[in-house]
A = this chain, B = another copy of it.
Amino acid sequence: MDRSSPVPLYFQLAQQLETAIERGKLAPGSLLGNEIELAGRLGLSRPTVRQAIQSLVDKGLLVRRRGIGTQVVHSQVKRPLELSSLYDDLEAAGQRPGTQVLRYAAEEATAQVAAALAVPEGTEVRAVERLRFTHGEPMAYLCNYLPAELLPLGREELEATGLYRLMRGAGVTLHSARQTVGARAATAEEGELLGEPEGAPLLTMQRTAFDDTGRPVEYGTHLYRASRYAFDFQLLVRP
Contacts and interface: CB of A to CB of B under 8 A. Distances in A.
A236 B175 contact: yes
A184 B78 CA distance: 26
Given A63-B175, A199-B199, A237-B82, A214 B183 contact: no
A21 interface: no
Interface residues of A, number: 52
Interface in A211-239: 212-216, 226-227, 229-238
Contacts of A201: 183-185, 201-202, 226
Count identical subunits in the complex.
2
A60 B185 contact: no
Contacts of A235: 81-83, 176-179
A53 interface: no
Contacts of A175: 60, 63, 73, 75, 236-237
Q: Which of A47, A179, A180, A235 has the most CB of B within 10 A?
A: A235
Interface in A157-199: 173-185, 199
Contacts of A185: 200-201
A111 interface: no
A234 to B, nearest CB: 5
Across the A-B interface, the 8 shortest Cβ-Cβ residue pairs: A74-B214, A182-B230, A183-B183, A183-B226, A75-B214, A201-B201, A181-B231, A183-B201
